[in-house]
Structure 1
Amino acid sequence: MTADPRKAAIAAAFGKAAPRYEEHAAVQRIAAERLAERVARLPLPPRPRVLEIGCGTGFLSRALRERIGPADWLLTDLSPDMLARCRAALGDPTDSAFRIMDGEKPDLDGPFDLIVSSLALQWFRDPTAALARWAEMLAPGGRIAVATLAADSFREWRGGPPPPG
């Protein structure tokens, strides 16, 4: 799939985890739900063109489908096994295309009204360059919405106070 050994290792690790991923992914589920809630408040056009980077088993895909109504979806992941799980979880819908792709260096043009990604950006070597590339793929007025890990992410999800300072 990829000539980059690091990316191949990431895809293989997620592929190996795919069969039981959802059993151990409480944080991923929470992050996807919170991102979907925020995205649902965005001013999107009717039937937006949506690109999801790193769809995994479909946490964000399912949460968004419940909230934003009809859309044209392109769901992508580095791992073929995760992508297959997502497709199965969604019931292989006719409004969706599925594609194995490195979201850090997408090989497509768009335009998209919405580009979303939940907990994939932290796997990128150069997230800033990836976000710049994504911005080039947006339609006029398009939006990018991401959830990613940062310092004290887990403390925030547990409801704890921010660190002093």
Structure 2
Amino acid sequence: MISVDALTQKHLLALNRQFYQTFGEAFAEKRGRLQPGVDRLLPRIPPQARVLDLGCGHGMVLRALAKRGFRGEYVGVDFSTPLLAQARANAPADLRSRFVQADLTDPSWTSKVSAGPFEVVLAFAVFHHLPGQALRQRVLTQAAALLRPGGALMLSVWAFLHSPRLRQRAQPWERVGLTASQVDPGDYLLDWRHRGQGLRYVHHFTPAELEALLRRTGLDLKEMFLSDGENGRLGLYAVGRRPLPRE
């Protein structure tokens, strides 16, 4: 498996950090409702569960859970200051919730999260922004380790290549000082045009690639499906479960 080198990975991570720090509020404006795939999974979360939400953004999942009667404990993690500010401002006051600023690409990010275990770990629209198979594997392994045995990890990645319109948003790597030979197969540079112009790195997963990622982590794959967008195929979702100890 080809993987980006350390310098290229650092370049791509810096690109995305700059994008979300600059366009965090504009991004939240474009995400005013839950994606159908997320809406499909949230009813499966027990009302009293401990939930860890990676890439929580402006806290929309917490608010949706509250409307469904959630009364457990919620911890949201994101690195974007503007998005976390919105999340804290809009969090329901009667719920046990905490928002943590942490960078998932930092190996020590788990030290900022309250001690597990969690019944559910969420990672919606996170892993397609992590460059390199090794980094994605490490972050998922760390997340899975925070699960209680039998707990569920629910994640989604952007399947933007299913949209002809979004495929046209792909930009040449030379715009950010790279070449196609320096990135992995499935890596793309996409433009942004809402309240300014920007660029961000995205990795497009095949279903087989996402399944392999979960299985290498030791999770049992329970479900995989496509949802979202104008054609119902712009989000690839997977649900993995941490195995129970063998008796």
Q: Same fold (TM over 0.5)?
A: yes
Counterpart-to-counterpart distance in 1, 2:44 and 2:86 = 28
Aligned to 2:123: 117
Counterpart-to-counterpart distance in 2, 1:95 and 1:16 = 29
CA pair 112-153 structure 1, distance change in 2 beyond 3 A: farther
Work out which of the two has the higher radius of gyration on C-alpha atoms and give 1 or 2: 2
Counterpart-to-counterpart distance in 1, 2:14 and 2:93 = 26
Structure with the larger strand share: 2
Counterpart-to-counterpart distance in 2, 1:147 and 1:116 = 9
Q: CA deviation at 1:91?
A: 4.7
Structure with the larger helix share: 1
CA RMSD of aligned residues (A): 2.9
Secondary structure at the aligned position of 2:158 is classed as: coil
Alignment partner for residue 147 of structure 2, among 138, 142, 145? 138
Q: CA deviation at 1:16?
A: 1.8
* Residues 1:149 and 2:155 are matched in the alignment: no
* Residues 1:24 and 2:30 are matched in the alignment: yes
TM-score (norm 2): 0.53
Alignment partner for residue 128 of structure 1, among 137, 141, 148? 137
Q: Is the 8 A contact 1:18 1:85 kept in 2?
A: no
Q: Is the 8 A contact 2:72 2:95 kept in 1?
A: no
Aligned to 2:61: 60
Q: CA deviation at 1:137?
A: 0.8
* Residues 1:37 and 2:40 are matched in the alignment: yes
Counterpart-to-counterpart distance in 1, 2:21 and 2:50 = 27
Task: Return 132-141 or 152-161, whichever deviates more.
Answer: 152-161
User: Gapped runs of 5+ residues in structure 1?
Assistant: none
Q: CA deviation at 1:53?
A: 0.4
Equivalent residues, number:
154
1:73-112 to structure 2, matched below 5 A, reads 73-91=74-92, 95-104=96-105, 105=107, 106-108=109-111, 109-112=115-118
Task: Return 143-152 or 7-16, whichever deviates more.
Answer: 7-16
Q: Is the 8 A contact 2:117 2:148 kept in 1?
A: yes
Q: Is the 8 A contact 2:162 2:233 kept in 1?
A: no
Aligned to 2:210: none
TM-score (norm 1): 0.75
The percentage of aligned residue pairs carrying the same residue is 23
Deviation per CA, 1:134-162: give whole Å up to 9, x if none.
Answer: 11110122110112113645476212789
